[in-house]
Structure 1
Amino acid sequence: MSLVRARFRRSSRRTTGGRATLLAVATLAGALTLSACGGSDGGKPVSGSGGNYVTGASGISTVSRAERTEAPKLDGETVRDETLDTTTLKGKVVVLNVWGSWCPPCRNEAKYFATVSKEYADAGKDVAFVGINTRDNSKQSAISFEENYGITYPSLYDPAGKLMLRFPKGTLNPNAIPSTIVLDKDGRIAARTLAPINDEQLRSMIEPILAEK
């Protein structure tokens, strides 16, 4: 009888340990899912500073001209099977928007990006918009998203999120979806937000950098 009880206890420990492991994995997966679509501040106002940048009450982080870091080369195939290299856009203010068709906050802000990008294009200003489409399993999903929301600028197709990892650690990198990063005319990282934004917020990120001489 004691042998049976001993075997039962060992079996119970293995089952409990297995359940604990599965629970830990599920918890981690859930955390990753929650952080995968939305800013780290949940869209709430943030203030403070960190590294060489300052985050204002709007949740938009900025870097002074003297402290800016060169942005990485972002290149590859777009969702429409064209090629794109962001380093060729130096001389313009570049607006990078990381998005996925599966992401509700991305859908919420898409109309603003469509509107503002068209405004700058129609005005002939030196501003280029580039999307980075990530975690979409097919280009068709991304294309349908662009057509639904009137997005006319190109988006690099990055289903595995490899382009996001090119940004140097400690800089204003796009570690949430959606993320928006603005590069100055020298190709340096000047501003970032990790939350969905509206048209006014988007313009507020672009205009000061565009005005720089």
Structure 2
Amino acid sequence: MSPSRAPRRRRSTRGRAILLTAVTAAGALTLTSCGDSGGSKAAKSSGGGYVTGASGVSTVARGERTEAPKLDGETVDGKTLDTSTLKGKVVVLNVWGSWCPPCRAEAPNFAKVSKELADAGKDVAFVGINTRDNSKQAAIAFEQNFGITYPSLYDPDGKLMLRFPKGTLNAQSIPSTIIVDKEGRIAARTLVAVSEEQLRKMIDPVLAEQ
């Protein structure tokens, strides 16, 4: 009896190991982006002059940047916002949804960095783009839970994302972050969740430009 059972135990162990590896890989992807493989496709799309570094952040040389679109409309808290009034500042645009686990993972980084830059008097404005939330209540609760104090445009249907130049954003890649320079041009982007260090590395070089 014992010899016949041993092979079955080994097969079972191998099966559990394979399953654990698959689950771990799937979990890593989930924490990176709420979208599907579209994020990687967008990162490789032509146009925009993007150069992607090892960290997954894409930057654009100053002479090759394209104009960021005007984003305007109602905010999550019922006010109105027009990003064209922010020209002259570095603008950090973050696409997020309260339903998205990676958005929740990166939210404390945005809350911390935005507050510290504001306290330091830096010419940086943070603007969220809340998408695919069916009610403002969920979005408001998200902002309150994570201490987000900057405004977020309410874009449940993703229409504002369609205003960006082709190849800049992917509707399936949420969260995404865009850095707009002081002249209103797209300087950097990432189509996955970012750490505090990555976020600062996206903002600081653009903020330092003269």
- TM-score bracket, normalised by the shorter chain, equals 0.7 to 0.9
8 Å contact kept, 2:33–2:193: no
1:46-77 Cα offsets, whole Å, 9 max, x none, are x9895311000000000000000000110000
Asked whether 1:191 is paired with 2:188, we answer yes
Q: Secondary structure at the match of 2:58?
A: strand
The corresponding residue for 2:10 is none
Q: Which of these residues, 83, 87, 101, is aligned with residue 84 of structure 2? A: 87
The structural deviation recorded for 1:168 is 1.3
Q: Measure the CA separation in 2 of the matches of 1:69 and 1:95.
A: 16
The corresponding residue for 2:134 is 137
The corresponding residue for 2:57 is 60
Q: Which of these residues, 94, 99, 124, is aligned with residue 97 of structure 1? A: 94
Q: Secondary structure at the match of 2:154?
A: strand
Q: Measure the CA separation in 2 of the matches of 1:137 and 1:49.
A: 30
Cα RMSD for the two superposed structures? 2.2
Q: Secondary structure at the match of 2:98?
A: coil
Evaluate the alpha carbon distance shift between residue 193 and residue 185 of structure 1 in structure 2; reply closer, same or farther with a 3 A threshold: same
Matches within 5 A, 1:33-72: 37-38=34-35, 40=37, 50-51=46-47, 52-72=49-69
TM-score under structure 2 normalisation? Answer: 0.79
AA of the residue aligned to 2:65: R
The structural deviation recorded for 1:37 is 1.5
Q: Measure the CA separation in 2 of the matches of 1:77 and 1:105.
A: 24
The corresponding residue for 1:77 is 74
AA of the residue aligned to 1:156: L
- Percent identical pairs in the alignment equals 75
Instruction: Count matched residues.
Output: 176
Structure 1 gaps, min length 5: 1-33
Q: Secondary structure at the match of 1:182?
A: strand
Q: Measure the CA separation in 2 of the matches of 1:102 and 1:71.
A: 27
Q: Which of these residues, 103, 109, 133, is aligned with residue 112 of structure 1? A: 109
Evaluate the alpha carbon distance shift between residue 159 and residue 36 of structure 1 in structure 2; reply closer, same or farther with a 3 A threshold: farther
8 Å contact kept, 2:95–2:131: yes
Q: Measure the CA separation in 2 of the matches of 1:41 and 1:202.
A: 22
The corresponding residue for 2:200 is 203
The corresponding residue for 1:158 is 155
8 Å contact kept, 1:39–1:179: no
The structural deviation recorded for 1:205 is 0.1
Q: Measure the CA separation in 1 of the matches of 2:205 and 2:45.
A: 19
The corresponding residue for 1:123 is 120
1:116-148 Cα offsets, whole Å, 9 max, x none, are 000100000000000000000100100000000
The structure with the larger Rg is 1
8 Å contact kept, 2:39–2:170: no
Q: Structure 1 stretches (4+) deviating beyond 4 angstroms?
A: 38-43, 47-50
Evaluate the alpha carbon distance shift between residue 53 and residue 81 of structure 1 in structure 2; reply closer, same or farther with a 3 A threshold: same
Asked whether 1:173 is paired with 2:169, we answer yes
